[in-house]
Amino acid sequence: MEIVPVPAFSDNYLWLVHDEASGETAVVDPGDAAPVLAAADARGWTITQVWNTHWHADHTGGNLAIKATTGARISAPSSEKIPGRDVVLKEGDAVRLGKHVGRVIEVPGHTLDHIALLFDEERVAFVGDTLFAMGCGRLFEGTPAQMYRSLQRLAGLPDETNLYCAHEYTLSNARFAVQAEPENAAAAARLTTVAQERETNPFVRATDEHAFARLRKDKDSFRS
């Protein structure tokens, strides 16, 4: 399974996921169609699936154009606000890319419909706007208790699990590096792991939902 970041907007990462054996390609959270279609095209890949983690437009805005261009099937959580959805994903469901099987877990907090996609064998997790390197998503819809539990679920994954986040806030230089050197897989892989987040992420390390709620509130008004 090959995973390629496609930078979009000011700090979004759209992830292309390719399986060589089957020739299938999925895109995770295509907020914009054009850069994703171009990146797939440049590699000779055709997008066959779209996976959305939640309804926000910077994660779903490209759904319809990608479907119209490629005929891709769209799998996404149950929110009515997701354009073009074909398959509803909920806790325990599977997504398949060739022989790779991912499982869906529900991680509400940033939005109520938010899901993560976990490929246990590949040690890969697409976590959308729930967890970022040393950070977490804002609480637009959910409660601190929901988000705290969601973060703890992700932090409970095996140490070496690579976390594919939908934004890069702390390492904006990494985004530039990927743009400057699109073929540099090492730059693309300036990723974070579950172990690193357990060691460094204050939101993950919060002792309970109340401590988490305080941190999240502080961060909402934090200006560096």
Stretch in the footprint of Zn ion (CB under 5 A) among 13-21, 44-52, 125-133, 176-184: 125-133
The reply on whether position 129 binds Zn ion by CB under 5 A is: yes
Task: Between 6 and 187, name the residue whose CB sits nearer to Zn ion.
Answer: 6
The residue range among 83-91, 127-135, 174-182, 200-208 that interacts with Zn ion, by the rule CB under 5 A, is 127-135
Q: How far is the CB of 38 from Zn ion (least distance, A)?
A: 23
Of the pair 129, 197, the CB lying nearest Zn ion is at: 129
The residue whose Cβ lies closest to Zn ion is 56
Hunting for tokens 């983690």 — which residue is that?
53
Interface mask toward Zn ion for 41-60; x: CB under 5 A: ---------------x----
What minimum distance in Å lies between the beta carbon of 53 and Zn ion?
Answer: 8
Q: In this structure, are residues 27 and 36 in contact, taking their beta carbons and an 8 Å threshold? A: yes
CB of 121 to Zn ion, least distance (A): 28
Query: Which CA distances in Å does 201 have to 84, 101, 153, 170?
Result: 35, 28, 14, 12
Closest residue by Cα to residue 13 from 189, 194, 147, 145: 189
Residue with Cβ nearer Zn ion (113 or 129):
129
Applying CB under 5 A, does 85 fall inside the site for Zn ion? no
H, E, C per residue of 108-155? CCCCCCCEEEEECCCCEEEEECCEECCEECCCCCCCHHHHHHHHHHHH
Residue among 165 and 174 whose Cβ is closer to Zn ion: 165
Q: How many residues bind Zn ion (CB under 5 A)?
A: 2
| Integer Cα distance of 96 and 19 in angstroms | 10
Distance, CA of 90 to chain centre: 16
The closest alpha carbon to 163, from 143, 135, 203, 142, belongs to 135
> Footprint of Zn ion on this chain (CB under 5 A)?
56, 129
